[in-house]
């Protein structure tokens, strides 16, 4: 493990962190917009329900039509309310993930120009390392290793390599 390998790994990890941060922020923004749309539609459905009720009471809307429309509005409202609950949970998880990514980046920034990995760095940055069984089918011994980073989970090495090459 050389200083050059360390620098390349550090660079790929930093790029991977930036990509994770960007993807997480975009996903959070998309979820918040969807939540806002759902909440606006729920409010609109409540107004529409009052309107059809008044139209029915005035005789401008038949009882059959009122029943059909009110059932449709109620079904849509229930579906949207369930989506709102799920979106709020998802936003909460995404916000925690963003905090974890930011915390991890602050910690990782301390180790940008490292020469070698020490136990303290491992404890701060890495939650677990998984090694698969060796594969000798190609004639050479290959072994895949997965690193689960603290707070952000697994970042596949292929992803880090692709982003470093881009």
Helix then strand then coil, in percent of the chain rounded to 5, is 70, 10, 20
Tens-digit pLDDT profile for residues 28-83: 899 999 999 999 999 999 999 999 999 999 999 999 999 999 999 999 999 999 99
For residue 44, the tally of other CB atoms under 10 A from its CB is 12
In which band, very low, low, confident or very high, does the pLDDT at 14 lie, cut at 50, 70 and 90? low
pTM of the model: 0.61
Tens-digit pLDDT profile for residues 77-123: 999 999 999 999 999 988 888 887 777 777 777 766 666 777 777 77
Contacts of 150 (CB under 8 A, 6+ apart): 104, 107, 124, 125, 126, 127
Q: 26 versus 129: which is more confidently predicted? A: 26
* Model pLDDT, residue 2: 41
Tens-digit pLDDT profile for residues 21-33: 788 788 889 999 9
């Amino acid at each position: 493990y050389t200083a050059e390998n360390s620098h390349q790994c550090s660079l790929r990890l930093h790029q991977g962190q930036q990509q994770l941060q960007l993807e997480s922020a975009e996903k959070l923004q998309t979820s918040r917009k969807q939540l806002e749309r759902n909440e606006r539609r729920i409010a609109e459905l409540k107004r529409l329900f009052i309107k059809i009720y008044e139209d029915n009471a005035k005789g401008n809307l038949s009882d059959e039509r009122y029943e059909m429309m009110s059932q449709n509005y109620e079904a849509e409202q229930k579906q949207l309310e369930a989506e709102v609950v799920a979106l709020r949970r998802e936003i909460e998880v995404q916000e925690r993930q963003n905090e974890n990514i930011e915390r991890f980046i602050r910690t990782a920034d301390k180790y940008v120009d490292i020469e070698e990995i020490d136990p303290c760095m491992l404890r701060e940055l890495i939650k677990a390392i998984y090694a698969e069984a060796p594969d000798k089918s190609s004639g050479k011994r290959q072994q895949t290793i997965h690193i689960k980073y603290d707070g952000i989970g697994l970042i596949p090495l292929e992803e880090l390599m692709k982003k470093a090459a881009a």
